[in-house]
Amino acid sequence: MNYKWFVGIDVSKKTLDVSSFIKELGDKSPHEQFTNDGKGYKAVIRWLKKQGAIVKEVMFCMEHTGVYSMDLALFFEKNNLAYSMVSPLHIKRSLGLVRGKSDKVDSFQISRFCYLHRDELPHTKLPLESIRVLKGLINERERLVKMQKSEKTVLHELKKVNTKSTFNRIESRIIMFSTDIECIEKEMEQVISSEPEVFENYKLTRSVIGIGLVNTVLFIVYTCNFQSFSDARKYACYSGIAPFENSSGTSLRGKTRVSHLANKRIKSNLSNAARSAVQNDPELRIYYDRKAKEGKEHGVIMNAVKFKLISRVFSVVKRGTPFVKMRQAG
């Protein structure tokens, strides 16, 4: 589609700042503010039509702001409008030197970004309703796990100063958290089983040794059921596992390192999976021991194990058959 209008939207909790980029006008391009609700979304379309825009020729662009931009994205999809949700960091680092900040300026910069990257900007498509529900559940589980960990720390580190009644209340809260976490995990399994395509990929992913429920849900959520990532290497890069060269000219020859620009939530949970895999998968245990004897650092080896797990997951999903443990490895 050859888009002729490029609209940037700065999303906040209550309002939308909208700019329609016109190259000749630069930062004087049309701007208007609307409410972040159904009435506001329709008003945006009317505003664009008054400018002479044909809605099907408009490319909308906005930062990914979580729940604040979700209703707007649903409106775009319901009306078959083209839009792209972009990482705020991607937009920020593409702007160069910028002085000052306001919602109006931000919306203009987003519209300009949309125009400059019009040929490579991917169209966003929201995942299945079941995947959005899974994301909410995994977020809730993570919050409870953090609170439970905090209570356990208090229980053990401050047991000498806590009264018996305090001790009992902390234990009760820990039990309550455990019960709620178990309920959330059961609900996640129910949501997964209700969607045949998701359930099939869930079973294949769980067949990989070391990959449990939490990591499987993260794979499904962040790959949109293995639709948004085409191969394991791209997902490894997104997860902060793929190493990158660190050199410049003849003076800088650093070690290859992973990037800090990564989804550290995925990386952290894959660390747990890697430890489990090394303990329970003979093939990976042999691999770990061999690399350790070669003098490789523990962290480097475990990072390689994480990549092997990602590769296995993408492989079993691609071929549609469960993971098979190598016989010669035990």
Give me the DSSP letters along 61-75.
EEE--THHHHHHHHH
Based on the fold, state whether residues 82 and 41 are members of the same structural domain.
yes
Residue 155, domain member (yes or no): yes
| 3-state helix/strand/coil string of 87-102 | CHHHHHHHCCCCCCCC
Based on the fold, state whether residues 103 and 140 are members of the same structural domain.
no
CA distances from 261 to 103, 105, 237 (A): 25, 25, 9
Structure tokens at 153: 């720390």
For the cut 90, the answer to whether the pLDDT of residue 243 exceeds it is: no
pLDDT at res. 95: 72
Q: What is the mean pLDDT of the chain?
A: 89
Based on the fold, state whether residues 142 and 39 are members of the same structural domain.
no
Structure tokens at 241: 């596992």
Residue 280, domain member (yes or no): yes
**H-helix or E-strand spanning residue 5:** strand 5-11
For the cut 50, the answer to whether the pLDDT of residue 135 exceeds it is: yes
Instruction: Name the CA radius of gyration of the chain, rounded.
Output: 24
99-108, 151-160, 194-203: which is most confident: 194-203
Picking from 138, 171, 194, the residue at the C-terminal end of a domain is: 194
Residue 226, domain member (yes or no): no
The C-alpha atoms of residue 209 and residue 207 are separated, in whole angstroms, by 6
Based on the fold, state whether residues 154 and 243 are members of the same structural domain.
no
Q: For residue 330, what pLDDT band results from cuts at 50, 70 and 90?
A: very low
Q: Give residue-wise pLDDT tens across range 261-317.
A: 678 899 999 999 999 999 999 999 999 999 999 999 999 999 999 999 999 999 999
Q: For residue 11, what pLDDT band results from cuts at 50, 70 and 90?
A: very high
Number of domains in the chain: 3
Picking from 62, 94, 116, the residue at the C-terminal end of a domain is: 116
Based on the fold, state whether residues 103 and 137 are members of the same structural domain.
no
Residue 214, domain member (yes or no): no
Q: For residue 247, what pLDDT band results from cuts at 50, 70 and 90?
A: low
Buried b (16+ CB within 10 A) or exposed e, 202-233: bebbbbbbbbebbbbbbbbbbbebbeebeebe
Q: Give residue-wise pLDDT tens across range 33-44.
A: 999 999 999 999
Based on the fold, state whether residues 54 and 134 are members of the same structural domain.
no
Based on the fold, state whether residues 138 and 241 are members of the same structural domain.
no
Based on the fold, state whether residues 134 and 186 are members of the same structural domain.
yes
Q: For residue 253, what pLDDT band results from cuts at 50, 70 and 90?
A: low
The mean pLDDT value for 178-203 works out to 96
What's the domain range around 133? 128-194
Compare 11 and 254 and report the one with higher pLDDT: 11
For the cut 50, the answer to whether the pLDDT of residue 237 exceeds it is: yes
The C-alpha atoms of residue 222 and residue 238 are separated, in whole angstroms, by 10
- 85 pairs with which residues across the strands? 62
- 86 pairs with which residues across the strands? 63
Strand order in the sheet with 31-35: 31-35, 15-20, 5-11, 58-63, 82-86
CA angle 241, 243, 248 (to 5 degrees): 155
Residue 172, domain member (yes or no): yes
Based on the fold, state whether residues 68 and 31 are members of the same structural domain.
yes
- 58 pairs with which residues across the strands? 5
Q: For residue 256, what pLDDT band results from cuts at 50, 70 and 90?
A: low
Kind of pairing between the strands at 58-63 and 5-11: parallel
**Are the C-beta atoms of residues 207 and 323 closer than 8 Å to each other?**
yes
Q: Residue 69 belongs to a domain with what CATH number?
A: 3.30.420.10
**For the chain, percent of residues with pLDDT exceeding 90:** 67
The mean pLDDT value for 131-142 works out to 94
Kind of pairing between the strands at 243-248 and 82-86: unpaired
Q: For residue 122, what pLDDT band results from cuts at 50, 70 and 90?
A: confident
Based on the fold, state whether residues 65 and 108 are members of the same structural domain.
yes
Task: Please count the other Cβ atoms lying within 10 Å of the Cβ belonging to residue 39.
Answer: 9
Based on the fold, state whether residues 251 and 325 are members of the same structural domain.
yes
3 state SS of 236: helix
Residue 66, domain member (yes or no): yes
Residue 40, domain member (yes or no): yes
For the cut 90, the answer to whether the pLDDT of residue 241 exceeds it is: no
The mean pLDDT value for 213-226 works out to 95
For the cut 50, the answer to whether the pLDDT of residue 115 exceeds it is: yes
The mean pLDDT value for 201-211 works out to 96
Structure tokens at 198: 């998701």
Residue 254, domain member (yes or no): yes
Picking from 94, 116, 138, the residue at the C-terminal end of a domain is: 116
Based on the fold, state whether residues 161 and 65 are members of the same structural domain.
no
